[in-house]
Structures are given as structure tokens and as C-alpha cells.
Amino acid sequence: MSTVFLALQTNEETRPIIEAILQDNPSAVVDEQPAMVKINADGRLVVRRETIEELIGRDYDLQELQVNMITMSGNLDQTDDEIILFWKS
């Protein structure tokens, strides 16, 4: 399976988001680079709203993620509850 990834700016807002992503994707691998964190996963990566909300203690709209997103790879599907990055092959 090919790698999908999501890169976020390193800051206070993304700290719990990265934590949430790692909780929901146990096999994801974190690659820390200057001022950014890249999260790689094999074929599929999911970002779940509820997990983030549990960690930050407030309502979270997944569209907020765009403020800190640097780049990504893979097909993207977004609903109110989750963002999924995936390769079909």
C-alpha cells in the first residue's frame, strides 16, 4: 500500500490534533521537521472530530484544520465527523 500523509504546522493548536490522529491511527508514523510535523500512514489516515474534541474540551469543526495544514497526499473525503485520506490501490 502507498503512503498517505498529512503535514501540519507545529504549534499549540496542532499539538492535541496530532495526538488525536495518533490515537486513531496506531500505525501512523510521525516525522518531525523544521516547524512542521508530517504524519505518514500506510494507505489510509483518519482524523476524527470526536477524538479531537475529547482532547481539547470544546466543540471542534474539522474545517478549522485547514488553518494549520501544510500539505497532504492521497484522496480526501470529508464529512462533519471525519476526514479520511486514502489511496484506492
Partner 1 sequence: MDMQVAKKKLGLKERYAVMTRGLDWTPSYQKMEDIYPYIAYEGIKIHDWDKWEDPFRLTMDAYWKYQAEKERKLYAIIDAFNQNNGHLNVTDARYINTIKLFISGISPLEYVAHRGFAHAGRAFPGAGPRVACLMQSLDEIRHAQTQVHSISNYNKYYNGMHDFHHAHDRVWFLSVPKSFFDDAITAGPFEFMVSIGFSFEYVLTNLLFVPFVSGAAYNGDMGTMTFGFSAQSDEARHMTLGLEVIKFILEQDPANVPIVQRWIDKWTWRGYRVLTLVAMMMDYMLPKRTMSWKEAWEVYFEENGGALFKDLARYGIKMPKCAEQIALEKDHLSHQAWSTFYNYAAAANFHTWMPDEDEMAWLAAKYPASFDKHYRPRYEFWREQAAKGNRFYNKTLPMLCQTCQIPMIFTEPGDATKICYREVDYKGDKYHFCSDHCKEIFEHEPEKYVQAWLPVHQIYQGNCFPEGTDPTVEGFDPLAAVLQYYKLEHGRDNLDFDISEDKKNFAEWRGQATKNI
- Beta-bridge partners for 84: 46, 77
Q: CA nearest 41: which of 76, 74, 8, 17?
A: 74
Beta carbon nearer to partner 1, 54 or 81: 81
Beta carbon nearer to partner 1, 57 or 66: 66
Shortest distance, position 2 Cβ to partner 1, whole Å:
3
Q: CA nearest 42: which of 4, 84, 82, 89?
A: 4
Beta carbon nearer to partner 1, 46 or 87: 87
Shortest distance, position 71 Cβ to partner 1, whole Å:
6
